[in-house]
Chains A and B, each alone.
Chain A
Amino acid sequence: MRYTQRVNEDADERSGRFAKLMMPHLDAAYAVARQLTRNRHDAEDVVQEAYLRALRYFDGFRGAGGGASDMESRAWLLTIVRHTCYSSRRRSMDRAETIEFDDRLHSNPLSVDEDQRLTIEQALAQLPYEAREVVVLRELEGLSYKEIAQAINAPIGTVMSRLARARERLRKLIGDVAESST
């Protein structure tokens, strides 16, 4: 009995530490998942699965025993969110056969609003996954080019050109949206 109690206290303490480190980043996780999945329903599923995965791998997180900065915890969690997006996307691609078909299936864009700021999100939703990913890593996660290169496993020059191309497309798309609404 004493052993059982100790195990439970350890488990409680572990989940307490996990919640304390990871729950403050829920909004950031949701924002990243929303941009990558392009719809709120999938984003919620991804975030929930990501937290479950994160809990499973928590013991492997360097900061699990304490001493992790807010930034480290956030970066660790967001990496898992991104991986979860990626594998959930692969699952739906396996079902839907092709990327193009999958994109239409999931295009259900974030709701249209009068707010000018929404158009950037709509424009981002038009870009292919690889382009959205670098924009999210840079603008929402705030990673350096070197960190992005590691995250997507590509040379730093690819990060630069992919971001530049994504921005040009965004710029034109926002222009299009503004023109068509007047």
Chain B
Amino acid sequence: MTHEHFEELLSAYSDGELGEVASPSDVASLEAHLPTCAPCTARLAEYRGMGDALRRRAHAETAPAALRQRIAATLEAAEATAASPWARRRRPMWSPGVLAAAAAVVLAVGLAVGGRRGGDSGTAGETAAQEVLDSHVRSLAGDQAHLFDVASTDQHTVKPWFSGKLDFAPSVVDLAPQGFPLLGGRVDFIDGKRVAALVYGRRQHKINVYEWPGGSESNPAGELRLGYSMLHWTHAGMVYWAVSDVNPTDLQELARNIDTISR
């Protein structure tokens, strides 16, 4: 057993996770070795001590009061824009002070968020872009993350799965040789339409490619939004949106491959 491997076992043991990652014989040999070895016992204590120290340190510092207030104000303003800004509950309606304050907060948030989102122009393309990004983040974030209705790397499993669920046949191609393995797909809703969402991998990253019929031929156009790369193009009567946290050039490459291989 190498020295490094032993440190891995000790570290996993300190987390109570050794059974998850090591063979029963490794567990047994470590447990037999520990009581007889002072340096290993000390190392184990050090690992645990570092964890305790980090937690103590992290919990010793609370979020600044100013941050708490800023978040409360941001949430209030976000809700005010979601509903109608003038009819705030339990306040006199149309009070000029309330109106002005609400408008100021909405404007401030709009400016802060608008810079990153590129502004809400309200056009169809803008709606689609925002919904595509929301869908991408929703498909990956949190324990309600839902990436696949059909999880398979086989295009001959994924493509037939869509038939009967959509009124068009999406391009489903296996791009594993090109470095974009197919991972699966699902039906999603963008701009009030049922669309195909195909999921491709790129190294450790996931890429959602959305597809639905429409539009006239257009070359891929990319943008960065909230730190995500997005690429939009139209080919052979199909609108495509690709979104991921990969490098924008990766999305360009994926688009080229989809267009050449699918038709």
Contacts and interface: CB of A to CB of B under 8 A. Distances in A.
Interface of A: 4-5, 7-12, 14-15, 18-19, 23, 26-27, 29-31, 34-35, 40, 44, 47-48, 51-53, 55-57, 60-62, 72, 75-76, 79-80, 83, 86-88, 90-91, 94, 116-118, 120-121, 124, 135, 138-140, 144-146, 152-154, 156-157, 159-161, 163-164, 167-168, 170-171, 174
B51 interface: yes
Given A75-B143, A161-B8, A35 B47 contact: no
Given A57-B141, A174-B50, 20 more contacts: A8-B83, A15-B76, A18-B75, A23-B68, A48-B74, A51-B74, A53-B226, A55-B79, A57-B142, A61-B144, A76-B142, A76-B143, A117-B53, A117-B60, A120-B53, A156-B20, A161-B8, A168-B7, A170-B50, A171-B43
A116 to B, nearest CB: 8
B193 interface: no
B11 A163 contact: yes
A90 B58 contact: no
Nearest to B77: A52
A30 B8 contact: no
Given A8-B83, A35-B58, A80-B141, A167 B11 contact: yes
B21 A145 contact: yes
Contacts of A88: 227
A29 B63 contact: yes
Given A30-B62, A30-B67, A87-B245, A60 B138 contact: yes
B256 interface: no
Q: List the 6 shortest-distance A-B pairs measured between CB atoms, nearest first.
A: A87-B227, A164-B11, A30-B63, A31-B58, A11-B83, A164-B8
Given A44-B67, A48-B74, A55-B78, A120 B57 contact: yes
A117 B57 contact: yes
Nearest to B62: A27
Most buried by B among A8, A18, A23, A47: A8
A91 B116 CA distance: 10
Nearest to B109: A52
Given A26-B71, A30-B67, A139-B51, A79 B228 contact: no
Most buried by A among B63, B72, B79: B63
A76 to B, nearest CB: 4
Chain A interface mostly: helix
Contacts of A145: 12, 15, 17, 20-21
Contacts of B89: 8-9, 12
A35 B140 CA distance: 22
Nearest to B84: A4
Contacts, number: 179
B70 interface: yes
11 contacts: A31-B59, A44-B70, A57-B134, A57-B141, A121-B54, A144-B17, A145-B15, A156-B20, A160-B12, A163-B12, A171-B43
B34 to A, nearest CB: 16
Interface in B27-85: 43, 46-47, 50-51, 53-64, 67-68, 70-72, 74-76, 78-79, 82-84
A140 B11 contact: no
A60 B131 CA distance: 14
A91 to B, nearest CB: 5
Nearest to B70: A48
B245 A86 contact: yes
Most buried by A among B53, B56, B89: B53
B262 interface: no
B65 to A, nearest CB: 11
Contacts of A152: 204
